[in-house]
Chains A and B, each alone.
Chain A
Amino acid sequence: MSESSTNSFASIGVIRGPLLLRLRRTVRLGVKSLWLHKLRSLLTALGIVFGVCSVIAMLAIGEGASYAAQEEIKTLGSQNIILRSVKPPEEQKVSEKGSQSYVLQYGLTYLDIQRIRSTIPGVTVVVPGRIMREYVWNISRRVDSEIMGTVPWYPEMRNHHVARGRFFSDKEMEDKANVCVLGAGMVKGLFPLESPLGKDVRVGGDYYEVIGVMEPAGKGATTEETGDNAKAAAERMFIPLETAKTRYGEILRKVRSGSFEQERVQLHEVTVKVATPEQVIPVADAIKEVMERNHKKKDYDIIVPLELLKRAERTKEIFNIVLGSIAAISLIVGGIGIMNIMLASVTERTREIGIRRALGAKRRDIITQFLVETVMLSGAGGVIGVLLGVTIPWFVSHFAGMKTIITFWSPVVAFTISGIVGVVFGIYPAMRAAQMDPVEALRHE
């Protein structure tokens, strides 16, 4: 008997079951201890719940918003540069004074296009457009619409295609044919029962044959408007630019708060396409220069979708950094809450620790026990947080109509972090528990 060495004791402690089985028992034990103080456990986990939930929800909403913004910009075409006529502010004031014979002249001209085409290399196509606001009629049905005179290659350039029928051809353009392509939203208002193809619609005194219907555009089609909001809501109908020129001339009449307003605008919108994305910025600069030289007033606006896209991406980056910091702070706060409670719990359970140590628990058994409890708390908080974080964006998109995107990794990362928080903030209380002297712990009241 006296021959048996100290090694025999080492082996005594080593007949342990498989790790997973042991962990399962530790987890069950942890559940019991946490269950003993249900409310306290719940409140403690709440910090993590809110942290995780807000991370996922905010990421989803942010991701959705930036996706929508980027899609809008993409429909403008990342290789495009868009020029628009803008009524100069000082002219606006003059016109408001309302002398009826006054004709306001501003905006892009056919000459501008020619200059751009001839002086700037790398410009491939130019899509000019005139925009008129008119009612479009089918017998007694009426739709408030924007009539856009444009060129046959508009669909390809703006990445906005015909859904049914066809767009007008070069020949129809040359012939100033009375043909039109309806915006997707106009069909319901004008031809609720039949197919519009081949039918005629009336605008003022002119009849146009419907040869096609556009696909519903990305939101881009409506946000293009720099003007009043009312305009933005209207659907577009497309007719050949040459037809528009002959039908409507150069002068537009608008009825505004009882008085007439006459404007002369040659082109409302011009889209310039550049061969490669790298050329977009230099060409845009060149166009700016040409325009500045030839327009005394700032009666035009240059929109570079690529720049907008880059700006949107930067905004998203900043947003993500801010969000990341908020998330980190809230998770740290949650972690501190957990640590605080665990420290209190360790003190409160000093006696239990002493008993367990007396009955054969090693330091690492005590560490495991408290660590498992902390990780379970934060893990449960993480699970609830993920569930909430996934449902909140769903509600937001259903009831607020905002687009939200939950990327696969956001719940995964948020949950993993909640687990890590549990370990990081649980390790100190667990060490405190394990470092206790068994004799002192047993004497603790």
Chain B
Amino acid sequence: MPTQIVQFDQVCKFYQMGLVTVEALRGVSFDIHAGEYVSIMGPSGCGKSTLLNLLGCLDRPTSGQYRLGGDDVSQMNDDTLSAVRGARLGFIFQSYNLIQQLTVVENIEVPLYYQGRPEEESRALAARYAERVGLGNRLTHKPFELSGGQQQRVAIARALVNDPLVILADEPTGNLDSISGVEILKIFDDLHEQGKTIILVTHDENVSRHARRSIRLRDGEVESDVRL
């Protein structure tokens, strides 16, 4: 029986805007097993980013339960959520989100730094992951010296370095030209083959096709959930 890594049970997220309550998510339920490659799609404003923030433990649901790796993270305090993010999640953003004053290898190290791993160990590990995404010869470069595709690969290495339960990607190819985009998606395919769990938010049907399961949202609810 496959292990359930993500369990969403009637998760709601409401935003209070003065007198108006914006219901961004209205009772979303789904499970994601280890090794699944899931894309989340839907029209603008349907709640994709909101969902990803919850999945990423950057925010807490208004109601409902979210279990990550078996633990209920929906009501954890701020510090514990930080620890969860550092240990169990890997983030890949549309705009890479690298820290500008740090080198490639230092950027990859950041999650290990906050886990308090010893310096030499994390440096070696970071270098190994840089190698894996094909940037072994760029370790001491700064982000602004790299192309968009290279920067996104650094971000992927950073998302992998802490060996997370889930990799969360928000439009990872949105800022890239088609060739770089394909390269990145190739890496995602490889990761999936190695058994990583990937959740990817996208607008792009072509991107979505790489995934093995597609969850569609509409107006804060799950419209469809299909395995390909």
Measured CB to CB, the residues of A under 8 A from B are 1-6, 8-10, 12-17, 21-22, 25, 32-33, 35-36, 351-352, 354-365, 438-439, 442
Contacts and interface: CB of A to CB of B under 8 A. Distances in A.
B82 A357 contact: yes
A12 B87 contact: yes
Given A2-B70, A442-B93, A25 B113 contact: yes
A32 B101 contact: yes
Given A1-B70, A12-B86, A360-B87, A33 B101 contact: yes
A4 B87 CA distance: 15
Interface in B162-186: 162
Contacts of B119: 17, 21, 25
Nearest to B116: A16
B61 interface: no
Nearest to A356: B110
A33 B70 CA distance: 39
A360 B85 contact: yes
Contacts of A36: 100-101
B63 interface: no
Interface of B: 3, 53, 56, 58-59, 67, 69-73, 76, 78-80, 82-87, 91, 93, 97-102, 110-111, 113-119, 158, 162
Contacts of B102: 32
B84 A9 contact: yes
B76 A12 contact: no
B82 A362 contact: yes
6 contacts: A4-B69, A13-B79, A13-B116, A17-B117, A355-B98, A358-B85
A257 B80 CA distance: 95
Given A6-B72, A9-B84, A442 B58 contact: yes
Contacts of B71: 4-6, 8-9
Nearest to B110: A359
Contact of A15 (B73, B93, B116): B116
Contacts of A17: 116-119
Given A6-B72, A359-B85, 5 more contacts: A3-B70, A9-B80, A17-B117, A358-B91, A439-B53
A185 B110 CA distance: 74
A81 B93 CA distance: 87
A318 to B, nearest CB: 49
Contacts of B73: 9
Q: What 6 A-B pairs have minimum CB-CB distances, sorted nearest first?
A: A360-B86, A16-B116, A13-B83, A360-B114, A2-B70, A1-B70
Nearest to A5: B71
B82 A360 contact: yes
A250 B176 CA distance: 110
A18 to B, nearest CB: 10
Contact of B99 (A8, A25, A355, A442): A355
Contact of B83 (A22, A362, A364): A362
B58 A438 contact: yes
Nearest to A362: B82
Nearest to A24: B119
Nearest to A11: B83
B161 to A, nearest CB: 10
A407 B91 CA distance: 56
Central interface residue in B67, B76, B82, B91, by most chain A CB within 10 Å? B82
A356 B58 CA distance: 12
Contacts of B59: 438-439
B86 to A, nearest CB: 2
A16 B84 CA distance: 15
A361 B85 CA distance: 9
B169 to A, nearest CB: 13
Given A4-B71, A5-B71, A15-B116, A363 B84 contact: no
A1 B69 contact: yes
A171 to B, nearest CB: 87
A412 B71 CA distance: 52
A294 B58 CA distance: 96
B68 to A, nearest CB: 10
Contacts of B114: 13, 356, 359-362, 365
Nearest to A36: B101
